[in-house]
Amino acid sequence: MAAMGSGRARHRLSAASRFAAVAGVLALAAGTAAASRPAAVVGPDVRETIEREGEARVLVIVDDPARDGAGDRGRRVRGQASHGGVAESLEPHGLNVLRRFLHVNAFAAVIDAKLLRLLERHPHVVRIDLDAGGRGFLLQGGPLGGFDVASPFAGDGAGSRVAILDSGIHGAHPDLGGAVVDQACFCSGEDGCCPNGETTQFGLGADQDDAGHGSNVSGVMISDGFVSPRGVASDAEIVSVKVLDGDALFCCASDVVAGLDWLIENHPEVDAVNMSLGTNAILPGDCDDANAFTMAFAEAISILRGLGVVAVSSTGNDGSGGAMSAPACIADAISVAAAWDTSLGTQIVLGCADLSTAADQVTCYSNTSPSLDLVASGNPMTSSGLVADTSTYYGTSNAAPLVTGCIALMRALDPGLSPDEIESILESSTALVTDATNGLSFPRLDCAAAVLVVSQGLSLPSASPIWLALAVASAGVAALLARRRRR
């Protein structure tokens, strides 16, 4: 298993060699770079933070000469990210590199004003922004979608495998044990929030949950149903990557990027990756080029998509009708907002109030924007717990694993489905919901219909609602009989 480098190693060069190397870099930056390209873009918060605190943790995007004109990023040879020698050339000047990536052309580092000047003049540096933090999107507190039909019809997801980037999984939970096939942790926090007290950990115990967020999200997908509700794809396997700390927060986007980078290198076989998390900053539209961390997210998610992996992300709980958190706002990710699954009367949650609620009503706290892909009805959600057998949460974090679990069912039926085909089927749902915040309508997840389309080779948009309802009902009866026979 490939481990991420710590970024603290120094080149073993003589003082003279180091001086010559740095001098060469600076000369190139001052001459060639000035003539061939503008200085790197520096986010305004970077300078402000350095002025206020003396240093800042940043994410640095470097160019990829090997990719110029090469087309699909997902086709790059694995393990061949080009960092342009930027970090190596500046480490003798005190550059403290915290995260390096095998596939994403970026690195995270702590810099001061001097290093900022050197970086922004370097010919291979494209952009520098703060290594922004974020959070999971649950709040402690019988979704729609046809999962009771879809799951048994697709063999409960047997043969599929999904990755979860979250706070980890309660491995001793009766409904979650045995599903995890590999574990890793990228959690920087104050001094390192992995179970071993460091910023990086691999292998058994690396995904130990200390927040409960990841256990709930995982249960929505893969719970066996002994003590908590059965998951959407209860027989699917899990690759668990801990990136959230005990408060369900991530300090730095580079931790999440490191988790994606590790999946590219070690588990390109997964069918989907669930990210019920996002940055504190929300961004309008497709945000791929908005700043350094969205550029890093976009590259990692693009590579995964090229490998056949579908990235699913919750949109966040700020109640915005025009912006979403990253990575949900990345074009190649499937962004998922939340809707109520029944009438619950007045609900005051996450700083907003829905005076009345109903099935398929978008929650007041869900972020949406014109580029939103899907809405999933499943709030509130009771699933696997950390302290107790079950936990009940509100939040868009509930919505994303419903979609990811449905993708596992689709891939269990047809492993050859491409990410484009999966997204097209899901977004062709004839169930539409309207967000009162912006008046826009979005497809609502209909997993029973999606699974039926995959299994029968149907075209969902051309199927009449009445015919589709009869077909789904027939499939449901057959699936339930098959489940009983298996038992």
Could you tell me the CATH superfamily of domain 15-131? Peptidase S8 propeptide/proteinase inhibitor I9 (3.30.70.80)
Question: Does residue 247 carry a pLDDT above 90?
Answer: yes
Residue type, 86: V
Tell me, what's the pLDDT at 351?
76
Least confident of 13-17, 28-32, 432-436: 13-17
pLDDT value, residue 16: 35
Q: Which CATH class is domain 135-472?
A: alpha beta
Among the ranges 64-78, 95-109, 132-146, 445-459, which has the highest mean pLDDT value? 95-109
CA 393/CA 402 separation, integer angstroms: 14
Indicate the range of 201-215, 289-303, 384-398 predicted with least confidence.
384-398
Q: How far, in Å, CA of 73 to CA of 42, rounded?
A: 24
Q: How confident is the model at residue 459 (pLDDT cuts 50, 70, 90)?
A: low
Q: Regarding predicted confidence, which is higher, 388 or 257?
A: 257
Give residue for tokens 């899990």: 238
- What pLDDT was estimated at residue 306? 97
Lowest mean pLDDT among 61-65, 252-256, 424-428: 61-65
pLDDT computed for residue 271 by the predictor: 98
Q: How far apart (Å, rounded) are the C-alpha atoms in residues 105 and 114?
A: 23
Helix 399-413, helix 447-456: angle, nearest 10: 10
pLDDT over threshold 90, residue 106 = yes
Which pLDDT does position 54 carry in this prediction? 96
Domain span(s) for CATH 3.40.50.200 in the chain: 135-472
Q: Which residue has the higher pLDDT, 138 or 369?
A: 369
Report the mean per-residue pLDDT for the chain. 83
Q: CA triplet 408, 414, 416: central angle to 5 degrees?
A: 100
- The CA distance from 369 to 452, in Å, is 29
Amino acid identity for residue 227 in this structure: V
Q: Greater confidence, 304 or 9? A: 304
User: Which backbone phi and psi does 310 adopt, to 5 degrees?
Assistant: -95, 125
Mean pLDDT, residues 375-389 taken together: 83
Predicted TM-score of the model (pTM): 0.85
Query: Lowest-pLDDT range, 222-236, 252-266, 285-299?
Result: 222-236
Q: Residue 9 — very low, low, confident or very high, per pLDDT cuts 50/70/90?
A: very low
465 CB-near residues (< 8 Å, 6+ apart) = 430
Q: What is the pLDDT of residue 67?
A: 44
Q: What is the pLDDT of residues 31-53, one digit of tens each?
A: 443 345 678 899 989 999 999 99
Q: How confident is the model at residue 266 (pLDDT cuts 50, 70, 90)?
A: very high
Range in 202-206, 302-306, 445-449, 454-458 with the lowest mean pLDDT: 454-458
| Mean pLDDT on 416-442 | 94
Looking at the chain, the domain(s) classified CATH 3.30.70.80 span 15-131
pLDDT reading at 147 higher than 80: no
pLDDT of 197-220, one tens digit each?
999 999 999 999 999 999 999 999
The pLDDT, as a whole number, for residue 52 is: 96
State how far the alpha carbon of 252 is from the alpha carbons of 53, 56, 186, 259, 301, in Å.
Answer: 17, 12, 10, 12, 17
Mean local confidence (pLDDT), 64-89? 54
481, pLDDT greater than 80 = no
Dist. CA 486–CA 158, nearest whole Å: 13
CB-neighbour burial class of residue 388 (10 A; exposed 0-12, middle 13-18, buried 19+): exposed
Q: What is the mean pLDDT of residues 102-129?
A: 95
**Using 50, 70 and 90 to split pLDDT, how confident is the model at 475?**
low
SS (H, E, C) the chain: CCCCCCCCCCCCCCHHHHHHHHHHHHHHHHHHHHHHCCCCEECHHHHHHHHHHCCEEEEEEECCHHHCCCCCHHHCCCCCCCCCCHHHHHHHHCCEEEEECCCCCEEEEEECHHHHHHHHHCCCEEEEEECCCEEECCEECCCCCCHHHHHHHCHHHCCCEEEEEECCECCCCCCCCCCEEEEEEECCCCCCCCCCCCCEEECCCCCECCCCHHHHHHHHHHCCCCCCCCCCCCCCEEEEEECCCCCCEECCHHHHHHHHHHHHHHCCCCCEEEECEEECCEECCCCCCCCHHHHHHHHHHHHHHHCCCEEEEECCCCCCCCCEECCCCCCCCEEEEEEECCCCCCEEECCEEECCCCCCCECCCCCCCCCCCEEEEEECEEEECCCCCEEEEECCCCHHHHHHHHHHHHHHHCCCCCHHHHHHHHHCCCCEEECCCCCCEEEECCHHHHHHHHHHCCCHHHCCHHHHHHHHHHHHHHHHHHHHHHC
Question: Alpha-carbon Rg of the chain, whole angstroms?
Answer: 23
Interval 321-358: pLDDT, tens: 999 999 999 999 999 999 887 788 888 876 788 888 88
pLDDT band at 391 (very low <50, low <70, confident <90, very high): confident
pLDDT of the residue at 277:
96
Percent of the chain whose pLDDT exceeds 70 = 80
Please give the pLDDT value at position 76.
41
Six token digits for residue 112 = 């001061």
- The residues near 172 (Cβ < 8 Å, ≥ 6 apart) are none
pLDDT at 268: 97
Of 444, 463, 443, 441, which Cα lies nearest the Cα of 452? 463
